[in-house]
Amino acid sequence: MIYVISDVHGRYTEFLRLLKKVRFKETDELYVLGDVVDRGNENLKMLDFCRSRKNVTLLKGNHELFMQRYLEGSPRLRENWRLWGGGTTLRELEPLPMQKKQEYLRFLQELPHYRSLRTGGKDYFLTHSGFSVDIAEPVIGQDGRIDIQVSVQRFVEMDEWAYLISDDLHFLPASVKFDRYIICGHYPTLEYREEGGVYVTPVFTDIDCGCAWKQPSPHRKMACLCLDTGEVCYQRIR
């Protein structure tokens, strides 16, 4: 089975509970769509988990990019990252020896931004934020639909940060068509649906169910979507 989870934000304990619920095993595959760090208290454990499992692929989110740029030594970034929820990751990261920090840096620098895959006769495009309208013109395929993979590759090369924080996918006119079905996170569904949960449209599915939602809400949860069955399993966040 192929599973997808996004925006875990340091909730490693709940993440493990969710994997247990879906009976995740070595022959399954898991794609984690970015933002495993910040806000929660088990950030490096999340990174270590994704790093050490052969059947787990972490895609880059804007919070991984923050951490990467901090480790690269970007000036003035520390306070900015803290404002974006990086304080808990900084607390875990700063006492580490340089060699360990370099290991994390190399891992973050090499994270992919997307994966295209086919299962159950359907073409999927997995990524953190989805699409952007103002970085570059999208690339249109012969059938008139947007070639999402080539377009996103262009966005990332031109402005990685702007791509990773974009929520444009949620505001596109219905006439915009993509050549693959998009699975994304980044934009908590609690922002636009009081009851939260996975948000499914004909064009994309947003699986960020607000684990790290700023306001206390009884509807905060972590979602695990199974691409083969379409089933969603939830873990509540207290």
Residues within the interface to Mn ion (CB under 5 A): 35, 61-62, 186
Provide, rounded to whole angstroms, the least separation between the CB of residue 83 and Mn ion.
Answer: 14
Distance of closest approach, residue 175 Cβ to Mn ion, in angstroms:
27
Please name the residue that has the structure tokens 């966005």: 155
CA distances, 155 to each of 114, 129, 132, 147, 203 (Å): 12, 11, 7, 12, 19
Q: In whole angstroms, how close is the CB of 165 to Mn ion at the nearest point?
A: 7
**Could you tell me the smallest distance in angstroms from the CB atom of residue 205 to Mn ion?**
16
Q: Report the sign of the C-alpha dihedral through residues 23, 29, 32, 33, in that order.
A: negative
CB-wise, 9 or 24, nearer to Mn ion? 9
Which residue, chain included where needed, has tokens 């080539």? 150
Residue 146's beta-bridge partner residues? 140, 178
For Mn ion, the closer of residues 35 and 147 by Cβ is 35
Residue 206 Cα distances to 5, 90, 154, 203, angstroms? 10, 28, 22, 10
* Separation between Cα atoms, residue 62 and residue 129, nearest integer Å: 9
Least distance from Mn ion to the Cβ atom of residue 118, Å: 26
Shortest reach from residue 59's CB to Mn ion, in Å: 11
Residue closer to Mn ion by CB (options 170, 186) is 186
Which is nearer to Mn ion, 62 or 151 (by Cβ)? 62
Give 35 or 42: the residue with its C-beta nearer to Mn ion.
Answer: 35
User: Count of residues for the chain?
Assistant: 238
CB 132 within 8 A of CB 162: yes
Positive or negative torsion for Cα 78, 79, 80, 82: positive
Nearer to Mn ion, 65 or 232 (CB): 65
